[in-house]
Chains A and B, each alone.
Chain A
Amino acid sequence: MKTSLPEFRDREDLSQADLAAEVGVTRQTINSIERGRYDPSLELAFKLADRFDCHVEDLFDPETE
C-alpha cells in the first residue's frame, strides 16, 4: 500500500520516533508503514489521519504498490 505519511511528517518536521510516540506505536512500525512493508490496522490508520487532521485515504492509497 502506498502512503503519503513521509510527506505529511516532513511538512511538520516530525521524526518517525516522535510520530510513533504520539500515536502509541514503535518507531519501527512507522518506518515499516512508510516503506510499504506493513499495512496498519484500521485503528492505527484512523489515529494517523486524526493526528494530521486529514482523511485516511489522504494518507494511504490501497490501489498502488
Chain B
Amino acid sequence: MSTHAHSERTYRLTYGALSGLSGLALGVLIAAGYSLAGVAGFVVFFGAAAYLQASYSGTLFDERDRQIHERASGWTLSLFGWASAVFFPTMTVLVALDYTTWPTWLVPIAFTVPLVYGVYGILLFVARRKQ
C-alpha cells in the first residue's frame, strides 16, 4: 500500500474520530450540566474535522461515501418509520384504555417523529421536482 493510501486512510479515520468526538462532547457535556463546555468542545472538534478535510490535498470522500450515507439515512428513516407506526398507535390505544399514561420524556419524541416526516415529505417533493 502506498504512502498516499496510508495517508488517505489516516485522514479518513481521524476525520471520523473528530466528528464522533464533536457529537460526544456536545451530548455528554450538556447532559452532565456543562452546556458551554459542550458547545465549545463541539466547535473545536468539528472545526478540526472541517479543517482536516479542507487541508487534505486529494479526495477524502467521494460518490461511494455519498451512496453509503444515503443508504444509511434511508435505513434510519425506515427504522424510525416502522418503529413509530407500531409504537405510537399502540401507546395511544393503551393510554385511551387507561392502561398507562404518556411519560413526559416521550412527548417531545412523539412530536419530533411527525416533524421529521413532515420535513422529509417536503424535501421529497423538492427532490422529485428537480428530476
CA distance A43 to B62 in the complex (A): 12
Contact of B59 among A16, A24, A38 (CB under 8 A): A24
Residues of A with C-beta under 8 A to B59: 20-21, 24-26
B64 contacts chain A at the CB level, 8 A cutoff: yes
Q: Quick one: which of A1-48 are within 8 Å of B by CB?
A: 15-18, 20-21, 24-29, 32, 38, 40-41, 43-44
Contact with A along B1-24 (1 / 0, CB 8 A): 110110011001000000000000
The 4 lowest CB-CB distance pairs between A and B, nearest first, are: A17-B5, A25-B62, A17-B4, A29-B64
Residues of A with C-beta under 8 A to B4: 17-18, 21, 27
Decide yes or no: A32 and B58 within 8 Å by CB, A17-B5, A17-B8 being known contacts. no
B60 contacts chain A at the CB level, 8 A cutoff: yes
Additional A-B contact list (17), CB under 8 Å, known A26-B62, A40-B63: A15-B2, A15-B5, A17-B1, A17-B5, A17-B8, A18-B2, A18-B4, A20-B58, A21-B4, A21-B59, A24-B59, A26-B12, A26-B60, A26-B61, A28-B8, A38-B67, A43-B63
Decide yes or no: A32 and B2 within 8 Å by CB, A17-B8, A26-B8 being known contacts. no
CB distance from A21 to the nearest CB of B (A): 6
B residues contacting the other copy or chain, number (CB 8 A): 16
A21 touches B58 (CB 8 A): yes
Residues of A with C-beta under 8 A to B63: 25, 29, 40-41, 43-44
Residues of A with C-beta under 8 A to B12: 26, 28
Residues of B with C-beta under 8 A to A38: 64, 67
